Structure 1
């Protein structure tokens, strides 16, 4: 469950430098800080598997990309989201090494792993925000439904394909990817 903290509205710039002296993680939603609950171990293991898989694909294809976990992306004037896994242009990351890991340029791929408290956020809010940012590919990994939704941006809207079981995921970013839903969810 997320909790909204403090009544003060934050600008994006204030959010980027906010430190409450804790290890809490926050998203910025319409100027309000929303505390993110710590993820489950399954969530962490799925993110780690995807990061390793994407890193291997990047290396094999010799792409100028970098895969990150828990990086942020600015999704609006007073909005910023934390992505579970994301793939970015490596030059874009290199230019901002000493800045907060909140990108103002959208990644080429974003992954969200659904938990009971993030269903609406991952399927509805982030979907519309990521489409508005024109993130080309958005994965929704849902251990609750035993499925992975791959959303590919087409003319400003996402076209969704749902994968289950032994189905191999088709990715526009990583066309040689050989990964099934069962492999992702059986961590």
Structure 2
């Protein structure tokens, strides 16, 4: 006999604490546990995070680069925790004033998801999150897929994403960071 999961309201999710260090996304009121990242996943996130941080600093931008610890409310009863989120400094300062979980209710400028192995994970990153991020108004969405060795950059145009796929030694084109000098190989095959 399967047990029906308890559904949480968004406010309950904001204050949810099960006494562990586990992280959860909220999908239609149901907690979705986030498993710890693989070493490859962790390395990829670290490379992209460090690159974005350096670019923000180099350009003197008022942006915050957050790594996996900020949620994005995408619908009434949904919250996602992208591997990386880049947000306006003003939005971050406003969020810091609250004592609840760090959940953005305004669109991030850019989010990154690294696809973990498995059909469910692929569907979540390529379909569900893509739909939610577009509906929420996140302008740039990167999907880094170590299995296919490609990076899909999605730009929000007229309410839906238009994508470009990058592989190998191709220089990644980002509209948020047009001067970025980074290739797929530099991310997926670190030295």
TM-score normalised per structure 2: 0.93
Which structure 2 residue ranges, 5 or more long, are not aligned? none
| Structure 2 residue corresponding to 1:164, chosen from 157, 167, 184 | 167
Alignment of 1:65-144 (within 5 A): 65-70=63-68, 71-97=70-96, 98-117=99-118, 118-144=121-147
Match of 1:181 among 180, 184, 189: 184
**Matched-pair contact (CA < 8 Å) for 1:6–1:33:** no
- Aligned-residue Cα RMSD (Å) equals 1.2
**Number of equivalenced pairs:** 183
Stretches of 4+ aligned residues off by more than 2 angstroms:
none
CA distance in 2, matches of 1:122, 1:107: 16
Q: Is the 8 A contact 1:74 1:103 kept in 2?
A: yes
Contact kept? 2:15, 2:100, Cα under 8 Å: no
* Separation of aligned partners in 2, 1:169 and 1:26: 30
Q: Which runs of 5+ in 1 are unaligned?
A: none
TM-score, normalized by length of structure 1?
A: 0.95
Deviation digits for residues 88-138 of structure 1 (CA, Å, limit 9, x no counterpart): 001111112243121111100000000113111000000000000110000
CA distance in 1, matches of 2:85, 2:5: 30
Q: Secondary structure at the match of 1:96?
A: helix
